[in-house]
Structure 1
Amino acid sequence: MPRVFTTPPPLEPGSRVAIVAPSRPIDESMRDRACSRLRETFDLDPVVFETARSDWEWLKDNPQARAQDIMDAFEDSTIDGVVAVTGGDDQIRVLKHLDPDRLAASPTRFYGFSDNDNLRLYLWNHGIVSYGATLHPTLTVDPEIHPYVERYLRRAFFEQSLGVVDPTDEWTDEWFDFDTEEPREWHDNPGRTWHGDERVTGRLWGGNFSIVKWHLQTDRYLPSADELDGTILALETSEDVPVPREVKYTLRSMGERGLLERFDGLLMGRPRTFSPELEWEPPEDYGERLREEVVTVLDEYNPDVTAVFDVEFGHADPNVPLPLGATATLDPTEAAIRFE
């Protein structure tokens, strides 16, 4: 039997939303900036939970406390949504401390991405749809919230589904300078690239490439192969900016395990190509090289798949709060992407 999915009820103006730190915390000034935008732009009432007030050294040593905050937020009947403050690199350590029955009994809209895709894939396993947004950077960068981000975040907060997601007019992967508040440099959007010509519909599974790779490596939180039949794989490469052949190697391994052939579609987020801590310099055509490597693997293991590249989710800006577990439709004839 296919897994039954629940989309938690939409928020309403005035809804209380829990602010938690399942990964790392952020500076109080950033947290206050984001919470102000929740109040002023979206008329939501942020409630800061204990982990979001804690420092990283304590959170690092207490993954069980991070899990407890998540469960408490889900079970609080006065809370309508749960928002992660930011990402990190260790949330997989939190998952073993979660009680899936407690989460499934109180399905609540969860917002997070990057390291939070650990929790989102966990929620997927228990039939709960979740959304790809965090306090930082979603609600902190730029002097004002980008209109494209506001449009789709508003849908993720207040509507049953995102509906059709149109391409953005502009994009950037420039780091935002909070000291100067200077506007970032934006580039014209060259558009999405489609591979394959068949319209496909399926549940969305995946997220951050690094997190998907961790789940493949640990093999503790993967759905069964049969549950992935007919689904759509979503991948974005984050600020890690992996060498394209590393993405190819992981997808090839999925092919050898008989997993890659299960997907009817693939969504690839527009790749970020810059990070201050990056240890190598990506070429100007990084996105093209990444796409070529991915297509090579698809052609070998899943030649009939429909794929679309440079979609607006992940770590390049602006982006949409990708709903893992929702039903996605990829229509290459209309060049359209829809989430229900």
Structure 2
Amino acid sequence: MVFTTPPSLGDDQALAIVAPSRPADAATLRIGRDRLAALGVETRVYPTADPDRDEPASPGARAADIEDAFADPEVGAVMAYTGGDDQIRVLRHLDGDALAANPTRFFGYSDNDNLRLFLWNRGIVSYGLGVHPDLVCDAELRPYTERYLRRALFEDSLGAVDPADEWTDEWFDFETGEPREWRENPGPTTWVGPDADPEEAVRGRTWGGSFAIVKWHLQTERFLPDPERLDGAVLALETSEDAPPPREVGYTLRAMGERGLLERFGGVVFGRPRTNAPPLEWDPDPEEYPADIRRVATRELERYAPGVVVGFGYDFGHTDPSFPLPLGAVATLDPTGGTLRFGPE
């Protein structure tokens, strides 16, 4: 199948802010729009993202907003305000042919990975990052996030992605605005399957996203691609602020193996796991949890995909700062140095 990277944001085009999951908060929406304006980006707020809305719009209305934004020639990019937990209900209302006829750069992750996997099935490349929290936390937009957001908005491909110099696992308090504590980033690590060439780079289109969303799509099956379309692809996963128990991650990878899916991937990249978030009902250890994720992942991948190359600890997903992981783009993962590059096609 042919994939399309939608055109970059034009000088005479606006970025549409939509809310496919939850409506916007007035204060953080204003911060996000101001920071996008500082990048030279004009924004338009669509009805579902109206901060005066108390409840999410109906799934049909949320789908209509997405379709309207894609169809508007004056809109060159669409960004989700934030995530949530029910966007899968929106997908049945979407006209995939209409979206494919008007490919537009979409930005979002977490619950928005539902839409991104829908777009993947239509051959449309999409990007991570959203207004909240990525553009609104801290006293200013993190330079790392800004660098890769500019590329995703204005360039043909993301190119080589370097590790951030520093990162944080702390939740930003919007009431106090207290600075968060940042720590040195050790960078990604690589695991090479026993049947893989440790010196050969893996190149394939990315598929996946937040672990919970991938799991929903495996459970519902309605929006999974034909398995052969995943041959040679790069599976991208991150565990979000839910921090699922490592055994659950292992069980899901095992189920993918039993379905004959894991063996199709040539590479896997994991985002740095978050261990600190208000919704958590347990207290994962910030040192042990990433190591446990790596342990269960490599166990299942060695069983089902011994020819795969795996990178752990990349700066995408629910970590700070992050780059806008492009789903559907061609990724090159080099096991010799753990380098990661997106594009050219």
Match of 1:224 in 2: 226
1:79-123 C-alpha deviation (Å, 9 max, x unpaired): 111010000000000000000111000000000000000000000
- Cα shift at 1:54: 5.7
Q: Which of 277, 280, 285 pairs up with 2:279?
A: 277
Shift of 1:138: 1.2
Distance (whole Å) between structure 1 residues aligned to residue 256 and residue 109 of structure 2: 22
Given candidates 7, 10, 15, the residue that maps to 1:12 is 10
Q: 2:50 aligns with which of 29, 50, 53?
A: 53
- Out of 261, 283, 291, the position equivalent to 2:263 is 261
- Report Cα offsets for 1:226-260 as digits up to 9, x if no partner: 11111000000000000001000000000000001
Q: Which whole-Å CA distance do the structure 1 matches of 2:44 and 2:96 have between them? A: 23
User: What residue in structure 2 maps to residue 301 of structure 1?
Assistant: 304
Rounded to whole Å, the distance in 1 between the matches of 2:47 and 2:252 is: 37
Aligned-residue offset at 1:56: 6.3
In the other structure, the counterpart of 2:24 is 26
Give the residue type in structure 2 aligned to 1:15. Answer: Q
| Residue of 78, 83, 88 corresponding to 1:87 | 83
Question: Does 2:184 align with 1:188?
Answer: yes
* Distance (whole Å) between structure 2 residues aligned to residue 306 and residue 218 of structure 1: 28
Quote the offset at 1:58 in angstroms: 4.0
Tell me whether 1:322 sits opposite 2:325 in the alignment: yes
Q: Aligned partners of 2:52, 2:264: CA distance in 1, in Å?
A: 42
Structure 1 residue 178: Cα displacement: 1.1
C-alpha separation in 2, matches of 1:38 and 1:15: 13
Asked if 1:148 is matched to 2:151, the reply is: no
CA distance in 2 between counterparts of 1:216 and 1:57 reads 32
1:333 corresponds to which residue?
Answer: 336
CA RMSD of aligned residues (A): 1.1
Q: Which amino acid aligns with 2:44?
A: V
Question: Counterparts of 1:55 and 1:46 in 2: how far apart (Å)?
Answer: 18
Deviation, 1:177, is: 1.0
Q: Give the whole-Å Cα distance in 1 for the aligned partners of 2:164 and 2:264.
A: 30
Taking the aligned partners of 2:51 and 2:306, their CA distance within structure 1 comes to 48
Equivalenced residue count is 336
Q: List gaps (5 residues or longer) in structure 2.
A: 193-197
- Cα deviation code 1:41-98 (max 9, x no counterpart): x1011001100006665425x1100000000000001111101000000000000000
Aligned match for 2:63, one of 61, 67, 80: 67
Query: What are the within-5 Å matches in structure 2 for residues 160-175 of structure 1?
Result: 160-175=156-171
Aligned residues of 1:14 and 1:44 also touching (Cα < 8 A): no
- Among 200, 205, 215, the residue aligned to 2:207: 205
Native 8 Å contact 1:14 1:43 kept in 2 = no
Secondary structure of the corresponding residue to residue 56 of structure 2: helix
| Distance across 1 between alignment mates of 2:228 and 2:77 | 31
Native 8 Å contact 1:23 1:88 kept in 2: yes
List alignment gaps of at least 5 residues for structure 1: none
TM-score by length of 2: 0.95
Distance apart, 1:31 and its partner CA? 0.5
* Cα 1:85–1:38 shift into 2, 3 Å: same
Code of the residue aligned with 1:103 in structure 2: it is L
Taking the aligned partners of 1:187 and 1:274, their CA distance within structure 2 comes to 14
The AA in structure 1 aligned to 2:229 is E
- Taking only the aligned residue pairs, the percentage that are identical comes to 60
Alignment TM-score, normalising by the size of structure 1:
0.97
- Report the counterpart of residue 106 of structure 2 in structure 1: 110
Corresponding letter in the other structure for 1:214: W
